Amino acid sequence: MTESDRRSDRQALDFLNVENAKRNLERPFYEDPELKIANSPYSFQDHTLYFIQSGQEEGRYIIPRGCLEEFATTPRDRLELKLITMNETLVLHAIQRGLTIDSLGMAFAQAYIEQERRYKSTQVR
């Protein structure tokens, strides 16, 4: 294999890694019939929580950088206070929709796990 072939292979691999990273950014980290957590379309370091009704995104809340991990790792008895501190309206909206703080906590935990899994899968080995 010549140096030119190796360079071409590296460029192809780099392109595939970039394309894979783009796809990972576009896919939600967590999604169920009532909630979706994804990267923010405005800042790749932030996340967005969407409330879903009848298949349509109804409410959108920005989850600032670092808060996804914080919410995912917070004990159940303290999660509501942290969520209220960040955005009381998010909590009220969730409760009005019949969601519990536990269901929000589970969604944050699953989203964080998926985010970490994707991050680790993109690391060069």
pTM above 0.85, yes or no: no
What are the tens digits of pLDDT across the range 25-56? 579 999 999 999 999 988 888 999 999 998 89
Taking residues 113-122, what's their average pLDDT? 91
Number of domains in the chain: 1
Q: Residue 84: its pLDDT value, please?
A: 96
Whole-angstrom distance, CA of residue 42 vs CA of residue 22: 14
Are the CB atoms for 20 and 46 separated by under 8 Å?
no
Q: Which residues pair with 31 in a beta bridge?
A: 36
Q: Give the range of the structural domain holding residue 98, as residue numbers without chain letter.
A: 3-122
List pLDDT tens digits, range 59-89: 899 999 999 999 999 999 999 999 999 999 9
- Please give the helix or strand (H or E) that residue 25 lies within, else none: helix 3-26
